[in-house]
Structure 1
Amino acid sequence: MTYHRPRTWLRTHEVHNQPAPMDDYDAWTTDRPLREAVMRSAPDWVPGWLRALGSETGRVYWFEQAALANRYPPELETFDAGGRRIDEVRYHPTYHALMALAIGHDLHGVAWRQAGAGGHVAHVAGMYLFTQPEQGVCCPVTMTHAVVPALRCEPALAEDWLPRVLSTAYDARALPAGDKSGVTFGMAMTEKQGGSDVRAITTRARPADGAGEYVLTGHKWFCSAPMSDAFLTLAQLDEGLTCFLVPRWRPDGSRNPLYLQRLKDKCGNRSNASAEIEFDETWAQRVGEPGRGVRTILEMVQQTRLDAATAPVGMMRQALVRAWHHCRGRRAFGAALVDQPLMQQVLADLAVELEAATALVMRVAESMDGAHADEQERLLARIATAVAKYWTNKRAPVAIYEAMECLGGNGYVETSILPRLYREAPVNSIWEGSGNVICLDVLRAIEREPETVPALLREAERGRGADARLDAALDALRRAVTEEADAQLRARSLTELMALTLQGSLLVRHGASAVAEAFCATRLGGEGGATFGTLPVAADRAAILERIWPA
């Protein structure tokens, strides 16, 4: 590590047996499993692009900026000094600095600028790196990235908006989009009476004067990133549920009547504002065909779900890095913590979980890159995105808590990043479909696109023969996908089996042998316990731990 500040402290008493504060490090070059996953499939330009981002996201400066953005959360300013209603959200300056870092590195646009040429691998790996110092900013970055396929459903809208959507200039000013150098997008679908049940939406739309123009009336219970320049939303037409683009400003330059009623006081994700909003004759443009709003918005949701699968993996990485740093710098019972056998068990088990999750989301990103030219990759992306989103989010809170416990009391106080990671851990599971909704989506994929099952099995089967426990899991998965009775009751167990089998296959093919062996023994072979730190005695912990951080 490179120390960014002098090692001097004020004297009151001598402090010993406390690790030195973490200083600047390169989040890309120190992450061997990520580098291996990227270099396995991505074109040559991707590692260089990620190296530039990783050199920033490991800097203490950005961790400090993120801490401030969360300590001083956004505030709603309903009126200006003269009493005129403006409904704007004021952020701490550090939030804007973090947004400028992400947008400036093209984190939102690289997948489309390099479509089919490693762009999605770069984007997903970049989100993994960026979410380590800060998570809340990733929400508007993700939605700005994800809106591109939906906008392309309307060529006129795409021509108007995409140049500013894909701009690498972050422009936080509250101005009409045409006056800005770059724009961001949000999303507003959830209503009080129904979240995931979008068919229950009551917001109404009626045609306005211009072609493709409408006005909306209704409410939205959650609107992410309410200072975005425009939002995708759903409303009812006579033809059925339809997707609309709602800008913050009308074409004549006046403020669009989009009223922010209040900001949510959330468990985590505090740097990012989430609002309750009201539409009152709010000007909008239709996106996609009337009555086909769900199909249109799903173009965006598929992208956001992959990011929601990736963020918890990045947070697990940061939690493990902090636990590793602490255990290397602290002694207990006559030895460094990192050399204590039981602590090695915990750290190695966390590392196995992280490597499996990293391999999974990077393989899904690879399938996204190949989807435009390869039908099998498209089918794999369709089902594996949901599988990964479900499973990484179920594992992250437990893994982050276990890493927190490695630090003891130091991990539980706010001077550590771990409490913020722990509060953040549930949000990606809830956002864009909670666990049940995602598992039902897996069932929907099987029913409506039955070829997704052979695509997933084909990918998993590539590991057959490498480990008997994986072979048994593959056999179990083949039986499970053919069972039709009680499908909803089995949806979670089926999705879990899909995730574990696919992870095992990826690790036996591409991972380190010690990691693959430990994973198959514990996750597939029943040799592990219900908590982390229960690897078999014979597990090669030294080989697993060596991969956490360069010697």
Structure 2
Amino acid sequence: MSTHEVTNQVPELVDVDLADAPVITEALARSTMTADDIAEVHAIGTLAGSAAMIELGDLAKEHPPVLTTHDRYGHRIDEVRYTPAYHQLMDTAVRHGMHAAPWSDPRPNAHLLRAAKFSVWSQVDAGHGCPISMTYAAVPALRANPELAAAYEPLLTTSVYDPGLRSPLTKRGLIAGMSMTEKQGGSDVRANTTTAVAQPDGTYAITGHKWFTSAPMSDLFLTLAQTSAGVTCFFVPRVLPDGTRNSFALQRLKNKLGNHSNASSEVEYDDTVGWAVGEEGQGVKTIVEMVNLTRLDCVLGSATGMRTGVAQAAHHAAHRRAFGATLNEQPLMGNVLADLAVEAEAATMAGLWLADLTDAATAGDERAALLRRISLAVTKYHVCKRGPVHAAEALECLGGNGYIEDSRMPRLYREAPLMSIWEGSGNVAALDTLRAIGRQPETLGVFLDEVKQAAGADARLDAAVADLEKQFGAIDLSDGAGLQYGARRLIGTMARVLQGSLLVRYGHPAVADAFAVSRLAGDHGDVFGTLPSGLDIRTIVERATPKVG
């Protein structure tokens, strides 16, 4: 029918190298990576942008995991079944070292390389990134028990994905999870009521209920339970070394806003067998590094969502015509796209910088460790908070088409709030920054020294740094309630100053200029698309527009 002729619709954004984003390629070029290392990232980018992988991501979302508590005969099995597409995505991520591989990789940029690949690849599907991230983060915590680390770390870092519940040491590769949160405590893990009782054989019998346990088909979990000495970290395998199932009863799967390809569950422990990781009563201290690494992936996840959103919006605007011109030729849309692009570049640059710091801290650089400690909390708070509003604006750029599930923009929108909630909501991340400053005052010193590395390059940044120092000079560190009340304002300022310093030093001048005038000098409205005049909008939008063909 003539009325069904399709015109002025945007071609599918497919078969592109998703790593070919200037903010990524420039960051890798600044590093000491070899050409082969960088080629690995582009190989992942090409794979992630392929029609075949995009379809796998769709299938994983459309066919969510299903819980089977009992077999046909009534035996308790507590298994979650995933679509084959999910397993293919997991296999790809593990084969390409996006899980715990950096811990056995001798390359000096192993964590940065992994971060770049993970950020590019997770555009296909965010859900399976959860167990990949937890496996990455589990290794340094597990090292608090050298005997367990010696046995299991090689299987956590290997490039083989081997799904299914079997005795872990008989498998070719392992996936790790976290089982911390309880219904009465949430982020306050010291309020956990799960108990662990020491047994004659050196194990512990763990009893309690965990309110959120993601990826419950993982091979092993780090969990928290109370002993007589206090909160302690434990290693809990799904299957015991002798091949019998550990007591790990899945009560139900959570009906979540997004992240549909990944199962999140409630778990009941009933004399579940576990091994202590670290000293009794030191559980929170033991898992701190695990939390830091998953927070890094929260930052990367939000940055990835922003890049995905602005890429889809810019691609749409480059092809869709209205009122006699393509959308990206129209000044107001150009303002919106540029504003979105600036936010995405700032977030991505901060995430990759934090991964680079992780390489340095892992190599023993004490200053890098201090800087990462405070900057992770600051950036996790701010970047992850910006994710949902960014996703909403990017979706709106596609108009009604963006509101349709086929565009994948609703999926992006539903995923966006998760990164701000996982590993501590906004308040927790902001308070953790204050905790770092209170317990390690030198963290603030290295933070201020770092942002001053750009001194003299931009007057607006210089003024923002001076104002931040003035704020800290006026703070009464003994006023706990006052500090808490103003924490979000203070930590948000720290985050913007850090991003501005990174952009001024390493970013494209057009992006740095736009960030400084809008985010630091305050010439910005309360929504995206309110950048002031006089900026190089065209260059910023071109950087965000995917290169097709």
Coarse TM-score class (shorter-chain normalised): over 0.9
Which range is displaced more, 289-298 or 249-258? 249-258
1:113 is displaced (CA, Å) by 2.7
1:115 is displaced (CA, Å) by 5.6
1:111 is displaced (CA, Å) by 2.3
* Correspondence list, 1:44-443, <5 A: 44=34, 45-114=36-105, 117-211=108-202, 213-371=203-361, 372-443=363-434
1:116 is displaced (CA, Å) by 6.7
1:479 is displaced (CA, Å) by 1.9
Alignment correspondent of 2:30: 40
Alignment correspondent of 1:6: none
1:179 is displaced (CA, Å) by 2.2
- Give RMSD over aligned pairs: 1.4
Residue aligned with 1:235, SS = strand
Residue aligned with 1:546, SS = helix
Gaps of at least 5 residues in structure 2 are none
Correspondent of 1:458 among 437, 449, 454: 449
Q: For residues 511 and 123 of structure 1, what CA distance do their matches in structure 2 show?
A: 21
Correspondent of 1:27 among 3, 18, 22: 18
Report the number of matched residues: 540
1:12 is displaced (CA, Å) by 7.2
Q: Is the 8 A contact 2:102 2:157 kept in 1?
A: no
Q: For residues 441 and 91 of structure 2, what CA distance do their matches in structure 1 show?
A: 42
| Pair 409,268 (structure 1): closer, same or farther in 2 beyond 3 Å | same
Q: For residues 361 and 46 of structure 1, what CA distance do their matches in structure 2 show?
A: 18
Q: For residues 428 and 177 of structure 1, what CA distance do their matches in structure 2 show?
A: 30
TM-score with structure 1 length normalisation?
A: 0.96
AA partner of residue 52 (structure 1)? A
Q: For residues 15 and 217 of structure 1, what CA distance do their matches in structure 2 show?
A: 61
Q: For residues 159 and 101 of structure 2, what CA distance do their matches in structure 1 show?
A: 10
Q: Is the 8 A contact 1:42 1:121 kept in 2?
A: no
1:299 is displaced (CA, Å) by 1.9
Q: 1:366-414: CA deviations, max 9, x gaps?
A: 1111113321111111011111111111111111111111100100110
AA partner of residue 503 (structure 2)? L
Residue aligned with 1:277, SS = strand
Q: Is the 8 A contact 1:469 1:524 kept in 2?
A: yes
Answer yes or no: is 1:541 the counterpart of 2:532: no
Q: 1:118-159: CA deviations, max 9, x gaps?
A: 111112212211221110001000000100101111111011
Q: Is the 8 A contact 1:110 1:122 kept in 2?
A: no
Q: For residues 94 and 467 of structure 2, what CA distance do their matches in structure 1 show?
A: 44
Q: For residues 101 and 206 of structure 2, what CA distance do their matches in structure 1 show?
A: 33
Q: For residues 106 and 149 of structure 1, what CA distance do their matches in structure 2 show?
A: 16
Residue aligned with 1:488, SS = helix
Identity among equivalent positions (%) equals 50
Alignment correspondent of 1:4: none
1:209 is displaced (CA, Å) by 2.8
Q: For residues 479 and 42 of structure 1, what CA distance do their matches in structure 2 show?
A: 37
1:166 is displaced (CA, Å) by 0.8
| Pair 404,336 (structure 1): closer, same or farther in 2 beyond 3 Å | same
Q: From the two aligned structures, give the one with the greater helix fraction.
A: 2
Q: For residues 313 and 223 of structure 2, what CA distance do their matches in structure 1 show?
A: 41
Q: For residues 106 and 287 of structure 2, what CA distance do their matches in structure 1 show?
A: 20
AA partner of residue 74 (structure 2)? G
Q: Is the 8 A contact 1:32 1:549 kept in 2?
A: no
| Pair 194,12 (structure 1): closer, same or farther in 2 beyond 3 Å | same
Q: For residues 333 and 253 of structure 1, what CA distance do their matches in structure 2 show?
A: 68
Answer yes or no: is 1:491 the counterpart of 2:487: yes
Q: 1:465-522: CA deviations, max 9, x gaps?
A: 1111111110111122331241111211111111100111111111111111111100
Residue aligned with 1:66, SS = helix
Q: For residues 91 and 550 of structure 1, what CA distance do their matches in structure 2 show?
A: 32
Residue aligned with 2:384, SS = helix
Alignment correspondent of 1:478: 469
AA partner of residue 290 (structure 1)? E
1:49 is displaced (CA, Å) by 2.1
Q: For residues 104 and 29 of structure 2, what CA distance do their matches in structure 1 show?
A: 19
| Pair 535,256 (structure 1): closer, same or farther in 2 beyond 3 Å | same
Q: Is the 8 A contact 1:38 1:362 kept in 2?
A: no
Which range is displaced more, 480-489 or 124-133? 480-489
Which range is displaced more, 540-549 or 136-145? 540-549
Alignment correspondent of 1:3: none
Q: For residues 104 and 41 of structure 1, what CA distance do their matches in structure 2 show?
A: 23
Alignment correspondent of 1:521: 517
TM-score with structure 2 length normalisation?
A: 0.96
Q: For residues 103 and 157 of structure 2, what CA distance do their matches in structure 1 show?
A: 8
Q: For residues 317 and 113 of structure 1, what CA distance do their matches in structure 2 show?
A: 30
Residue aligned with 1:547, SS = helix
1:205 is displaced (CA, Å) by 0.5
Q: Is the 8 A contact 2:100 2:137 kept in 1?
A: no
1:176 is displaced (CA, Å) by 1.4
